């Protein structure tokens, strides 16, 4: 287990280096001049050039990238071109909202996805199975911005049961839970559909295994056959999908945060891209990438507890 963690941290270092290079290069060649955006429409050519010199934007690409990596290794991701605020401070203020949204969405996805997939597998080719398959197809196909707008229209505007948007209350309060319900459903629907499809296929494969037939032949109760012999052995691919989707949720909240006016990292990232705020974009992407690798490390560790036969040493 220790060897796995050490290997993953080395992989994380190389991965972040590669991602930082790709993001830095993408922002470098992207159209638009951040110095002109900072200076505003009234800035003269000399003012814009002075801003470029001050930010080091006139230096060669490799010099700029080397300076960025050197500072990042020391924990300095730079300062926002828009607000002059340290990038770390801006991200840490907004990250709790993104994390709360991702966790709430994953809870919705796991509950709905596993139950739907389990029922579908146990009632194969029945009306329930067809309904679950239709739900999975619809969940993957429906765009987040459309689903979010429909939920707001129904539950916030017409019924007035839930707030339209925002996330200003602690998650453990009633108001905080109400703020999370609609965005969590919006963001978690697609993941629930993917988990449901994987749970169904994995359960169908395990149900046909010899040890399941043997357990039934010995007279083991059906509930024990399902929950102990079948579901536990079907969980490996399901957990893989859950881990991947949670990583995607951490970096894929941009549209949902926009629709529900949530001040999170996704919204910060898209605003920074529009403003050519290079340090803010790079810092946000690096954080999301690091979290994605960390989540997958946790998934690998969970594997060994579910199935002791799995070893990464």
Is residue 183 exposed (0-12), middle (13-18) or buried (19+ Cβ within 10 Å)?
buried
Is residue 29 exposed (0-12), middle (13-18) or buried (19+ Cβ within 10 Å)?
exposed
Quickly state the pLDDT bin for 115 (edges 50, 70, 90). Answer: confident
pTM for this entry: 0.81
pLDDT of residue 22: 86
Backbone angles phi and psi of 97, in degrees to 5: -65, -40
Q: What is the mean pLDDT of residues 142-149?
A: 86
Place of tokens 């060649």: 29
pLDDT of residue 31: 74
pLDDT of residue 313: 56
| pLDDT exceeds 80 at position 10 | no
Q: pLDDT > 90: what percent of the chain?
A: 3
Q: Which of 4-8, 115-119, 203-207, 242-246 bottoms out in mean pLDDT, i.e. has the lowest?
A: 4-8
Q: What is the mean pLDDT of residues 172-178?
A: 85
For 221, the 3-state DSSP assignment is coil
**Which tops the pLDDT comparison, 162 or 299?**
162
How much is the mean pLDDT over the chain? 82
Give residue-wise pLDDT tens across range 49-89: 888 888 787 888 888 888 888 888 887 888 887 788 888 88
> Taking the domains of the chain in order of start, what are their residue ranges?
2-66, 88-306
CA nearest to 280, candidates 88, 52, 140, 18: 88
Q: From CA 64, how far away is CA 48, in angstroms rounded?
A: 18
The CATH number of 88-306 is 1.10.3720.10
Highest mean pLDDT: which of 83-97, 210-224, 240-254? 83-97
Quickly state the pLDDT bin for 1 (edges 50, 70, 90). Answer: low
pLDDT of residue 309: 62
């Amino acid at each position: 287990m220790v060897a796995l963690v050490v290997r993953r941290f080395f992989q994380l270092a190389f991965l972040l280096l590669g991602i930082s290079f790709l993001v830095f290069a993408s922002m470098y060649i992207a159209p638009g001049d951040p110095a002109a955006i900072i200076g505003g429409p009234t800035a003269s050519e000399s003012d814009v050039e002075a801003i470029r010199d001050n930010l080091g934007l006139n230096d060669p690409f490799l010099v700029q990238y080397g300076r960025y990596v050197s500072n990042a290794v020391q924990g300095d991701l730079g300062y926002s071109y828009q607000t002059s605020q340290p990038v770390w401070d801006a991200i840490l203020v907004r990250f709790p909202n993104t994390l709360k949204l991702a966790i709430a969405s994953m809870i919705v996805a796991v509950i709905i996805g596993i139950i739907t997939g389990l029922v579908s597998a146990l009632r194969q080719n029945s009306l329930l199975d067809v309904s679950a398959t239709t739900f999975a197809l619809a969940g993957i196909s429906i765009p987040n911005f459309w689903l979010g707008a429909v939920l707001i229209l129904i539950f916030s505007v017409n019924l007035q049961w839930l707030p339209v948007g925002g996330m200003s209350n602690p998650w453990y309060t009633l108001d905080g839970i109400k703020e999370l319900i609609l965005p969590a459903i919006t963001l978690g629907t697609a993941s629930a559909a993917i988990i449901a499809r994987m749970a169904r296929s994995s359960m169908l494969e395990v149900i046909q295994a010899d040890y399941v037939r043997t357990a039934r032949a010995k007279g083991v109760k059906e509930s024990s056959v399902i929950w102990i012999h079948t579901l536990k052995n079907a969980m490996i691919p399901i957990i893989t999908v859950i881990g991947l989707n949670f990583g995607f949720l951490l970096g894929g909240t941009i549209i949902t945060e926009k629709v529900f006016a949530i001040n999170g990292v996704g919204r910060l990232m898209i605003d920074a891209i529009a403003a050519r705020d290079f340090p803010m974009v790079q810092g946000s992407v690096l954080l999301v990438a690091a979290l994605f690798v960390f989540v997958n490390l946790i998934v690998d560790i969970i594997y060994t507890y579910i199935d002791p036969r799995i070893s990464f040493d």
